[in-house]
Structure 1
Amino acid sequence: MCTFSYLRQVMIVALVLVLGGCSGLPSSSEMPPVSELEPEPYQIGVGDTISIHVWRNPELGQSIVVRPDGFISMPLMGDVKAEGKEPEALASEISVALGEYIRTPEVTIMVTSPASKEFRNRIRVTGQVASPQSVAFQPGMTVLDIVLMAGGVTDFGAGGRAILHRQIDGEYKSYSLDLDAILSDGDMRTNHPLQPGDVISVPRKDLFRGEL
């Protein structure tokens, strides 16, 4: 009986080592740095609130939300496509169109509520956490920050096999995280800085890995 128990333990350990070696995920040392590129000029998106001011013609000014079809409605002009344009470019386009009705119009546009950017720049954590989250990115956020916001890893979560999914060159790549080491041991080697669009997933514990 003792021999059978010993052999069973050896088989479980071997299986864990094999599965661990086949994860195929880059180690924390291969984690790419957070992008340090200069932010791109803001482009207006659906749901944004923009304030339009026409100098000396206050009746033409307005505060308006970009419709789901990407258009806004302007006096004298009708529907104007706003989505995907920089505020300065849209202001120039409106100025040219209004030039048919008023003399030398000067138009300025300000994005007062960038709702579309707030959605695009969210950080998400899913899987075996107390409260899955989708939160707005803030500069300086780390893996630990978002995991704490989610209430930590549940008793059924395999925090040592958590994964960070990051979009690089138009496609998502996955990197291993050790949340158990971060939360229990204070080991911050995988407490990476986050960037907009990052997704952290925490898998469920696996009996065949000896986690239960």
Structure 2
Amino acid sequence: MNNKILKLFVVSSILFINACSNNYLPTATLYASKTSDISQYNYLIGPGDSLNIFVWRNAEISGTFTVRPDGKITTSLVEDIPVSGKTPTQLARNIEQILSTYIKDPIVTVSVGGFVGPYSEQVRIIGQASEPKAINYREQMTLLDLMVEVGGLTEFADGDSAKLIRIVAGEQVTYDLRISQLINQGDIKANVDLLPGDIIIVPEAWF
């Protein structure tokens, strides 16, 4: 194989790889939190949650149901009820409306167990955290609360180069964090409020 043919082969291979990459590696979509008013935060149901649905005077259609990965549940009377992204009260009213076709004036209460919630409501930390994980947002959650939850940083972390990614008005915004100053030096000014859907990336330090 002469040099000209070899060059053509290499260029063709690169173009083929790039074409495959473009076809099979779409970028991820970051979805904004479904919580519209953080001052009135309410837990939203998500896949993996366990729902205890009680229908007054109708024990035969009451029960405990696990939310499927598609965000729906199936009850003894109704299949494929969308539940993800709703508060327990919203879901109770929705089920009452559905059951009114079968039962006169149904009264429904919904309680939640498991507390997984939708991805859009979880706070995720990756990189050089001691325990990278996704955590369901809790009312008035701060960066310090998150660091306690994940056990701090690894010895290789560059905490003061960490980034917080948040969706604001439909746009991805990146903020600088000073996690090392917060947890190693006790600089409480480096603490920040977290919001549902926040993503924190902690890079490795370059020694």
TM-score tier, shorter chain, comes to 0.5 to 0.7
TM score, norm. by length of structure 2: 0.63
TM-superposed CA distance for 1:161, in Å, is 1.0
TM-superposed CA distance for 1:119, in Å, is 5.5
**How much identity, in percent, do the aligned residues show?**
28
TM-superposed CA distance for 1:44, in Å, is 4.9
Residue 79 in 1 paired to residue 79 in 2? Answer: yes
SS at match of 1:73: coil
Q: What pairs with 1:164-179 in structure 2 (closer than 5 Å)?
A: 164-179=164-179
Change (3 A) 1:58 1:80: same
8 Å CA contact 1:98–1:105 kept in 2: the answer is no
8 Å CA contact 1:161–1:177 kept in 2: the answer is yes
Change (3 A) 1:93 1:194: same
5+ long unaligned stretches in structure 1: 1-34, 207-211
TM score, norm. by length of structure 1: 0.62
Change (3 A) 1:174 1:112: same
TM-superposed CA distance for 1:105, in Å, is 4.1
CA RMSD between the two structures: 3.0
TM-superposed CA distance for 1:56, in Å, is 3.5
Q: What pairs with 1:18-167 in structure 2 (closer than 5 Å)?
A: 36-39=38-41, 44-69=45-70, 70-75=72-77, 78-84=78-84, 86-99=90-103, 104-113=104-113, 115-117=115-117, 120-167=120-167
TM-superposed CA distance for 1:165, in Å, is 1.5
Cα deviation digits, residues 134-165 of structure 1 (max 9, x gap): 33333333222322433333332222211112
Partners of 2:45 and 2:143 lie apart in 1 by 29
**2:24 corresponds to which residue?**
none
**2:23 corresponds to which residue?**
none
8 Å CA contact 1:144–1:191 kept in 2: the answer is yes
Change (3 A) 1:46 1:118: closer
Q: How many residues get paired?
A: 166
TM-superposed CA distance for 1:108, in Å, is 0.9
Structure having the higher Rg: 1
